[in-house]
């Protein structure tokens, strides 16, 4: 496959000159590591101190990486992207909440996005985060094999009920449901719960999708184990495959607590592990559905080649590519132009509540070698192309 991701005309077809300039300015800022560090600290402080910084955040990172403050705001973006064949996953990105009311609010919002997805072809998936439905410590405690107190057990039963409610609704409405992956020390409990949901709701096809974070060296074995279980017990496997967003946190905790890090020894090892998992799933599509969540061009080309080799249709419904809104439009829009299934996560929520998400994006773009540079190079190339076209 030629290097289709270099086509900047297709990549930025929805961006006006002004929007392109704004994106360039933003990535220039994000590329500056000290600035991101200071900016993050100042913003966190300002938000805690209730200083009026929301306007500034909105005009910069928020509008670039988010669809709006509520689900309705997102619909115009959904329609715009859909006009170019790119679908959306509405992602209620409020994080780090610990109260029952907030878990119930996340449940309600997820149910609402399932409704949206059922009604709109341009929204093929709904999504939620395990810790959006229950306290992190509960997942952690269960993962360590500790016994819950009576109150905690009741609290946990409510988490299970929330999972069951959204999965059963997704099944009823025939909407695929992605469940995000988080820190490894809570993930075992989430994995067990998601597997239980797959057993219940993936009998006819993959409705419930778990997430495999391939920066973890144990995940390929885990995938094979789940595959065996699916075959033995008669359910389909849905998996979003990503590299993983919490690497620094994982390594730091492992070092502090003195256990071997769950993360692959190098970037190359993660890349190999990622491609191996995706390859394994593509070889078993009769029992699996795959959501390839990546901004990595090589991994994406490999999947495209394999789709060709296996003679699969590019728009086979068991096979989706996904990127995050505000990043790697060159991959998303060019994939769509070649008729592959592609969806962008479109985060939304009140400005101050989506800050942890935004900070992860800023840090990721600062730390992932080459990624921000690539965005800048592509924008530069498109500006040049437009200038020439004007002449």
Ligand X SMILES: Cc1cc2nc3c(=O)[nH]c(=O)nc-3n(C[C@H](O)[C@H](O)[C@H](O)COP(=O)(O)OP(=O)(O)OC[C@H]3O[C@@H](n4cnc5c(N)ncnc54)[C@H](O)[C@@H]3O)c2cc1C
Two structure tokens written together for 358: 């935004």
Residue with smaller CB distance to ligand X, 60 or 131: 131
98-to-133, 343, 379 alpha-carbon distances in Å: 9, 30, 40
333 binds ligand X (CB under 6 A): no
> Any idea which residue has 């080309």 for tokens?
301
Considering only residues 269 through 288, tell me which ones interact with ligand X, judged by CB under 6 A. 270
Contacts of 113 (CB under 8 A, 6+ apart): 71, 90, 92, 123, 126, 127
Residue 152 or 353: which CB sits closer to ligand X?
A: 353
Closest approach of ligand X to the CB of residue 190, in Å: 11
Up-side HSE of residue 176: CA atoms within 13 Å toward CB?
A: 27
Q: Does 215 bind ligand X (CB under 6 A)?
A: yes
Q: Interface residues for ligand X in 339-358 (CB under 6 A)?
A: 345
Q: Which is nearer to ligand X, 17 or 218 (CB)?
A: 218
CB of 363 to ligand X, least distance (A): 10
Nearer to ligand X (CB atom), residue 169 or residue 375: 375
Q: Is 246 in the site for ligand X (CB under 6 A)?
A: yes
Write down the least CB distance from residue 234 to ligand X, Å: 27
Q: Are 164 and 111 in contact (CB under 8 A)?
A: no
By CB under 6 A, residue 247 contacts ligand X? yes
Q: Which residue lies nearer to ligand X by CB, 224 or 267?
A: 267
As measured in angstroms, the least distance from the Cβ of 17 to ligand X is 27
Least distance to ligand X, CB of residue 213, Å = 5
Instruction: State yes or no: residue 123 binds ligand X (CB under 6 A).
Output: no
Q: With contacts defined by CB under 6 A, how many residues of the chain interact with ligand X?
A: 27
Least distance between ligand X and beta carbon 163 (Å): 16
Unique residue bearing structure tokens 């990503």 = 242
The nearest distance, CB 209 to ligand X, in angstroms, is 10
Single out the residue of 263, 281, 331, 378 in contact with ligand X (rule: CB under 6 A). Answer: 263
Q: Tell me which stretch binds ligand X (CB under 6 A): 8-16, 147-155, 169-177, 260-268.
A: 260-268
Q: Which of 266, 286, 309, 391 binds ligand X (CB under 6 A)?
A: 266
Q: Which of 68, 124, 132, 181 binds ligand X (CB under 6 A)?
A: 181
Q: How far is the CB of 89 from ligand X (least distance, A)?
A: 7
* Contact call for residue 294 and ligand X (CB under 6 A): yes
CB 19 to ligand X: min, Å: 21
Q: Minimum CB separation from ligand X for residue 334, in Å? A: 15
Which is closer to ligand X, CB of 180 or CB of 382?
A: 180
Binding status of residue 264 toward ligand X by CB under 6 A:
yes
Kindly state whether residue 262 participates in binding ligand X, applying the rule CB under 6 A: no
Give a three-class secondary structure readout of the chain: CCCHHHCHHHHCCCCCHHHHHHHHHHHHHHCCHHHHHHHHHHHHHHHHCCCCCHHHHHHHHHHHHCCECCHHHHHHHHHHHHCCCCEEEEEECCCCCCCHHHHHHHHHHHHHHHHHHHHCCCCCEEEECHHHCCCHHHHHHHHCCCCCCHHHHHHHHHHHHHHHHHHHHHHHHCCEEEECCCCHHHHHHHHHHHHHHHHHHCCCCCCEEEEEECCECCHHHHHHHHHHHHHHHCCCEEEEEECCCCHHHHHHHHHHHCCCCCECCCHHHHHHHHHHHHHHHHHCCCCEEEEEECCCHHHHHHHHHHHHHCCCCCCCCCEEEEEECCCCHHHHHHHHHCCCCEEEEEEECCHHHHHHHHHHHHHHHHHCCCHHHHHHHHHHHHHHHHHHHHC
The reply on whether position 302 binds ligand X by CB under 6 A is no
Residues 68, 85, 322, 349: which binds ligand X (CB under 6 A)? Answer: 322
In Å, what is the CA distance from 199 to each residue of 137, 166, 168?
25, 15, 12
Task: Check residue 296 for interaction with ligand X (CB under 6 A).
Answer: yes
Asked if 361 interacts with ligand X (CB under 6 A), we say no
Residues that bind ligand X (CB under 6 A): 180-181, 211, 213, 215, 242-247, 263-264, 266-267, 270, 293-296, 322-324, 345, 364, 368, 371
């Amino acid at each position: 496959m030629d290097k289709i991701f270099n086509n900047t005309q297709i990549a930025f077809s929805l961006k006006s000159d002004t929007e392109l300039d704004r994106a360039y300015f933003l990535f220039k800022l994000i590329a500056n590591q000290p600035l991101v560090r200071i900016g993050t600290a100042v913003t966190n402080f300002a938000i805690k101190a209730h200083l009026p910084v929301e306007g500034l955040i909105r005009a910069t990172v928020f509008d670039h990486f988010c669809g709006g403050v509520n689900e309705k705001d997102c619909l115009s973006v959904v329609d715009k992207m859909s006009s170019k064949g790119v679908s959306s996953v509405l992602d209620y990105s409020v994080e780090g909440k610990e109260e029952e009311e907030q878990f119930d609010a996340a449940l309600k919002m997820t149910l609402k996005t399932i409704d949206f997805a059922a009604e709109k072809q341009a929204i093929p998936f709904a999504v939620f985060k395990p810790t959006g439905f229950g306290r992190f410590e509960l997942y952690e405690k269960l993962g360590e094999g500790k016994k819950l107190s009576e109150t905690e057990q009741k609290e946990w039963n409510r988490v299970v009920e929330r999972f069951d409610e959204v999965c059963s609704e997704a099944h009823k409405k025939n909407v695929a449901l992605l469940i995000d992956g988080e820190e490894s020390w809570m993930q075992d409990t989430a994995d067990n719960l998601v597997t239980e949901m797959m057993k219940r709701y993936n009998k006819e096809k993959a409705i419930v999708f778990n997430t495999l974070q391939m920066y973890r060296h144990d995940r390929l074995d885990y995938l094979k184990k789940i595959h065996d279980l699916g075959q033995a017990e008669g359910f389909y496997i849905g998996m979003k495959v990503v590299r993983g967003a919490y690497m620094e946190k994982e390594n730091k905790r492992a070092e502090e607590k003195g256990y071997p890090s769950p993360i692959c020894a190098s970037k190359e090892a993660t890349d190999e592990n990622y491609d191996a998992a995706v390859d394994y799933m593509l070889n078993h599509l009769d029992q699996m559905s795959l959501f390839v969540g990546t901004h990595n061009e090589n991994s994406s080309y490999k999947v495209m080649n394999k789709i060709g080799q296996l003679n699969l249709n590019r728009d086979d419904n068991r096979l989706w590519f996904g990127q995050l809104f505000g990043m790697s439009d060159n991959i998303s829009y060019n994939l769509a132009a070649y008729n592959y299934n592609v969806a962008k996560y479109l985060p939304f929520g009140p400005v101050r509540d989506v800050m942890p998400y935004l900070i992860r994006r800023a840090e990721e773009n600062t730390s992932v070698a080459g990624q921000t540079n690539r965005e800048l190079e592509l924008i530069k190339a498109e500006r040049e192309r437009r200038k020439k076209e004007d002449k």
